[in-house]
Chains A and B, each alone.
Chain A
């Protein structure tokens, strides 16, 4: 008999339990309960988010595979497809930063190659508490080495992403990993256990007691020595994963596979039930045949283990031998553990006994969906009111402080620990607005970016969601790329709180609206709820991963200035906006106001103008204006030029000087063009009704900004550069 405590340990409500009993026609045993518990968890079942996720547009001309598979797939022509997805590994990374982050990378890589694609890039979005706290530094150090340790060894370049710091992440860091893979259009694989009679094959690492749903450990079934059986932190083995990749791709190329799914969250449970449910079949497996690393594992443990680097494959019986040969060639185990049936049930045998017998459809498709109550939090109106800050006396000083703010400062300390060049495709190195990968032998190229601004979303979730999409697309536009598809990772607090649900709903609607405006489908993603510690939630943090297509890689501009004496053009307009800015946060310690206004229509035109100018071969440098505003954007162009070329910019907007320099008005892009081309770009902008003007010129060793005839910024490039460059490394200097 299942008691209240066991239910609570399994995070199931009495109503959910009653539904399970109705669905299977009897009381489940403990192992079956464990299966429902993980499959109906928020992580696998999306029970609080489903009703809202439906709001995303999911169709478009490039889409081959939308949400519902391991990853989304886009057609990019030339017989090629891009497979991509983002996943969070927030909680594991807090408990054990290195392995948490490493297995996060491992998991998303498998999601990609299980579909037949070779992972060609990883990007990650990281958020930590402030670096002056040693605990936060230790978490960051562990997470970055974990990503580096796994990705580098596997041989996938980590080409970009973002790193932000805010106190709300001190006890709940965010680790979101996005992987992009490349596949042949006609060689894609789905997680389908089709064809009754086909063999079910287990391949890869052995099963241990890793990451088993901890709450149930107190249950009597586990005997006396509970200590010994505590769930372990999952440990990643990138070497094994690399072999698994090669073996899987080889078996796929030789057409030996009917369907395949990786064993990630909920391991064998999730892969068996989902593959059968999607194909409308059933499955019979014998747990005695599952390769095991530890002795005395129970069916519960084997079914729910989250050991890494494992795959479940369905193959025709006559192809099993060749399949095994391929895995053996790569020094991996592949064993038949069962077969596909046609009765729609998952039947699991253990020591000759039938220990699980449940309808797969009930587990996979009939997880309840909740429309949880949503309520606008009381604080929203309060924090949106903002008194304009006092004008600082020394703007140069403020400028320097902003450049050294870890949110703005150079992230080289992070990305130089990642192999970002392996596979020899990385045409634009990390640090630019978006990463650019060439496709060997082709003129076209891929651009990719991750973006999110949690403070904006905290202040106004709907607009924050919109801005995340707009900015990601703007980043792509700066590489001359047109956005083609979206994946997103939605990091929020506890969805059972109406205030959190409101943030979630608002953000989703904002993202959906922006995606529709940009005509880009959402092909998948991940929801991470319960990001709170001690009742304090993180800021709502949607992270958008967007892929773009570039027509001609030779025209991609650089993120830094290329030469002195070039014209600097600003696309878009400067407005007096302070809300949600890094300026306000850093200098006045205020996380307040309304985030910058956003007109999606205007934004789209600015981006289109930038793209057209790039395609016309007119643009040498392009960089979008975001955190830190115009002054910081210009400085970044100077810092990223190999010779650290300075600039002189003159502005005449009738707005406050500090807003002009550091305000974060949207829909702005800085271009540097050859002088003779400036007119052409301005004409193009005029035709497209995009505000544009020449605001200055590159050159010299100084950063100079004038406002209405007065020099307001006057700083040596080198001085700013050192502040920007050394800020993060200084936190990590080994103290002698």
Chain B
């Protein structure tokens, strides 16, 4: 399958995500430059983590106006798969592709740490390779990850099974301590009503290799691959990329 990782000015998990998709998951992966209008026929768009436009106004608030996001919106309306990770999630919220908003973490500190998240709905394009109730160990790294939505919206998210991940302890219990950033209903990741746009604060690309301490993040990428294979009725060619893995990122973006 073909993945596109969007590069905004200030994105800093772009190559990490690219590496996980191409070098770990063996998928064809391209960078999508924010000033471009071409989605290069990808099957799934990923908005990576980072500090787009410095996050100086609000996290993700400026990126939504970039040319590529106009295409991503159309792509999403047509049912294309869009995954937003961390800052990518914030951009999806700001652009209205997902409901809700992010507030500062409850302790008013940037938090970089492993968290446990529980899969709440395994019948989506993003969680199909996992099972409901399964606990994943994946790191977070954010300042604004405290999910907020007004009560009626929360209720709607609950009713429609749109909450995909909740912060929990290692056994899957929703303890107050486990909800490190203070998100309402422990929300760590949600999907839109149609099921094709997902945002999550934890970084699956940081938990996709044993040497980094966890491989649980691969479940999210594998779910997407499985879903796309089923939808397109063909197997992903698997490790199409035989280039040696570069320790340094390539040049990104076009004039």
Known: A331-B9, A422-B141, A553-B211. A182 touches B112 (CB 8 A): no
By a CB distance below 8 angstroms, the chain B residues around A429 are: 213
By a CB distance below 8 angstroms, the chain A residues around B211 are: 427, 438, 553-554
- Pair B212/A417 contact, Cβ less than 8 Å: no
Contact for A80 among B54, B139, B247, CB less than 8 A: B247
Within 8 A of B (CB), among A202-258: 237-240, 242-243, 246, 249-250, 253
Within 8 A of A (CB), among B192-236: 203, 205-206, 208-209, 211-213
B245 within 8 A of A: yes
- Pair A239/B10 contact, Cβ less than 8 Å: yes
Contact for B55 among A153, A329, A330, A554, CB less than 8 A: A153
Contact for A152 among B110, B205, B249, CB less than 8 A: B110
B131 within 8 A of A: no
B23 within 8 A of A: yes
Residues of A contacting B: mostly: mixed
Q: Which of B11-19, B93-101, B119-127 is found at the contact surface with chain A?
A: B11-19
0 or 1 for each of A447-465: is its CB under 8 Å from B? (1 = yes): 0000000000000000000
- Pair B246/A441 contact, Cβ less than 8 Å: yes
- Pair B19/A424 contact, Cβ less than 8 Å: yes
Known: A237-B54, A424-B205. A154 touches B110 (CB 8 A): no
Contact for A419 among B19, B141, B248, B255, CB less than 8 A: B141
B176 vs chain A, min Cβ distance (A): 16
Contact for A424 among B56, B209, B251, CB less than 8 A: B209
By a CB distance below 8 angstroms, the chain B residues around A329 are: 253-255
- Pair A239/B56 contact, Cβ less than 8 Å: yes
B244 within 8 A of A: yes
Alpha-carbon distance A182/B56, docked complex (angstroms): 29
Contact for A440 among B139, B247, B253, CB less than 8 A: B247
A420 within 8 A of B: yes
- Pair B9/A419 contact, Cβ less than 8 Å: no
- Pair B251/A421 contact, Cβ less than 8 Å: no
Q: Which of A415, A418, A423 has the most CB of B within 10 A?
A: A423
Alpha-carbon distance A412/B139, docked complex (angstroms): 15
By a CB distance below 8 angstroms, the chain B residues around A239 are: 9-10, 51, 53-56
- Pair B111/A416 contact, Cβ less than 8 Å: yes
- Pair A422/B56 contact, Cβ less than 8 Å: no
0 or 1 for each of B1-36: is its CB under 8 Å from A? (1 = yes): 000000001101101100110010000000000000
Alpha-carbon distance A442/B244, docked complex (angstroms): 10
Contact for B248 among A118, A149, A155, CB less than 8 A: A118
By a CB distance below 8 angstroms, the chain A residues around B244 are: 441
Alpha-carbon distance A184/B249, docked complex (angstroms): 11
0 or 1 for each of A426-439: is its CB under 8 Å from B? (1 = yes): 11010000000011
Alpha-carbon distance A401/B193, docked complex (angstroms): 54
* CB nearest to B33 among chain A residues: A329
Alpha-carbon distance A441/B53, docked complex (angstroms): 31
- Pair A154/B12 contact, Cβ less than 8 Å: yes
- Pair B110/A148 contact, Cβ less than 8 Å: yes
By a CB distance below 8 angstroms, the chain A residues around B15 are: 423
B241 within 8 A of A: no
A325 within 8 A of B: yes
- Pair A242/B255 contact, Cβ less than 8 Å: no
Known: A238-B51, A239-B51. A419 touches B247 (CB 8 A): no
- Pair A152/B253 contact, Cβ less than 8 Å: no
B109 within 8 A of A: yes
- Pair A419/B23 contact, Cβ less than 8 Å: no
By a CB distance below 8 angstroms, the chain B residues around A439 are: 247
By a CB distance below 8 angstroms, the chain B residues around A420 are: 112
B160 within 8 A of A: no
* CB nearest to B17 among chain A residues: A424
- Pair A440/B23 contact, Cβ less than 8 Å: yes
- Pair B16/A424 contact, Cβ less than 8 Å: yes
Known: A152-B51, A238-B54, A329-B255. A440 touches B19 (CB 8 A): yes
By a CB distance below 8 angstroms, the chain A residues around B247 are: 80, 182, 439-442
0 or 1 for each of B156-188: is its CB under 8 Å from A? (1 = yes): 000000000000000000000000000000000
- Pair B248/A182 contact, Cβ less than 8 Å: yes
- Pair A422/B12 contact, Cβ less than 8 Å: yes
Q: Which of A330, A416, A419, A553 has the most CB of B within 10 A?
A: A419
Within 8 A of A (CB), among B33-60: 49-51, 53-56
Within 8 A of B (CB), among A637-690: none
B113 within 8 A of A: yes
B252 within 8 A of A: yes
By a CB distance below 8 angstroms, the chain B residues around A325 are: 255
Alpha-carbon distance A226/B19, docked complex (angstroms): 53
Known: A184-B248, A441-B244. A243 touches B9 (CB 8 A): yes
Alpha-carbon distance A189/B15, docked complex (angstroms): 23
Ranked 4 nearest A-B pairs via Cβ: A155-B12, A239-B54, A441-B245, A153-B51
Cross-chain pairs A/B with CB under 8 angstroms, 29 sampled: A118-B248, A118-B249, A145-B109, A145-B110, A148-B110, A152-B110, A153-B55, A182-B247, A237-B54, A238-B54, A239-B55, A242-B12, A249-B251, A250-B251, A253-B251, A329-B254, A415-B112, A416-B109, A416-B113, A417-B109, A423-B16, A424-B19, A424-B212, A429-B213, A438-B212, A439-B247, A440-B19, A441-B23, A441-B244
Report A's interface with B, CB cutoff 8 A: 80, 118, 145, 148-149, 152-155, 182-184, 237-240, 242-243, 246, 249-250, 253, 325, 329-331, 415-424, 426-427, 429, 438-442, 553-554
4 other A-B residue contacts (CB within 8 Å) besides A118-B249, A420-B112, A440-B245? A242-B51, A246-B252, A329-B254, A422-B16
